Amino acid sequence: MRHAATLLACVGIGLAIGAPFALGAHALLAGLRSVPLLIFLTLAASALVSAAAKAGKLHLLQTALDLRLRFRRTLAMTVVTDFAFLVSPLGAAGYGVNMALLERAGASWAIAAAIVGGDQALDLVFFTLAIPIALALAPGPLALMVPKASLPLIALAALGVACLAGILWLCRHHAGNALGAAGRRIPWLKSRWARLRRFRANVGRQFALLVAGPPRRFVALLLLTSLQWLLRYGALWFILLELGHRIPLGFVLAAQAVVLHLALWTGVPAGGGGGDLGLAASFAAWVPASIMATALVLWRFATLYCPLVLGALGFAALAWRRHMKREVLQSGFDEAST
């Protein structure tokens, strides 16, 4: 099983690396040669600050639950958890790794579950608020950039999406009842449906605890969550801007949120290739394929390669800390025995 998971992670990362080359290998290599080193350094810094913002959020949650850890240890645990998210199908390993690291740091299972649930609740609040706002602000600027011949097609697509969303909202109770009835008859679906209900209930409980705390702590948590995701999702907007294409930030954020979450559900780690090609299709009306290929490599540098390197460094830091602790305990045992 471990070998299969490793192979799948390598396949997912390999697809993510290779997908931009499908848009034009020669133009991609030429485009990368023309990118200044400062762009790479800026993207690496944004990845580090995003990880630090998430670590700050988790540190506040830990402190609220009387789990006192040094920030540098929380940061190491954060980047290791992100590494696990990126290399596992659906990011499933991230939750288990996060809870295991918290329990190893002295947290009970209940406290570890509360911290992980609180983190997910804050992320859910951010996306619930950010995506509608981004979509509401994007159409006006986009309409000025779209070729006149494409406006009817885009308007028709937007109308179709709006109608589909309305139908799903009106039929939500019937769909829920149908899924519940199917879940009672299909064991696989029953377990997934039960897991989804438990997840929603857990997130709801953690969010209630967060709201019940001091307002300044809740505001700080929301600000850190926003900084984490705006840096992560704003990297593509910054890259396109540097490559000469000013796309509205709201549209870039919304496109990534939708495409990457859909790619995540393919089960391929890091959305291997599906997310890249989906983003290329989303921006096809405004960005040529050759430039988009360069943008995707830079985007993956900020959102995949740098987090993987940070995760590897986090693994090394935690392993070194564990080794040093074992050495101290062993030396103390030897002294006591003599």
Output the six-digit token pair for 208: 């209630």
Phi, psi torsion values for 261, nearest 5 degrees: -70, -35
The answer to whether 76 touches 23, Cβ cutoff 8 Å, is no
In terms of residue numbers, what domain contains 130? 2-337
Domain total of the chain: 1
Per-residue pLDDT tens digits of the chain, which is 338 residues long = 556 666 766 777 777 777 777 777 777 888 888 899 999 999 999 999 999 999 999 999 998 888 889 999 999 999 999 999 998 877 778 888 999 999 999 888 878 888 888 898 899 889 888 888 877 776 655 555 555 445 555 556 556 656 766 776 677 666 666 656 655 665 655 666 666 667 666 666 666 666 677 889 989 999 999 999 999 999 999 999 999 988 888 888 888 888 888 777 776 776 777 788 888 888 888 888 889 999 999 999 999 999 999 999 999 999 998 877 777 666 666 666 66
Of 193, 196, 204, 54, nearest to 117 (Cα)?
204
Phi, psi torsion values for 242, nearest 5 degrees: -70, -25
| Dihedral in degrees, nearest 10, Cα atoms 100, 4, 305, 104 | 10
Output the six-digit token pair for 315: 């693994």
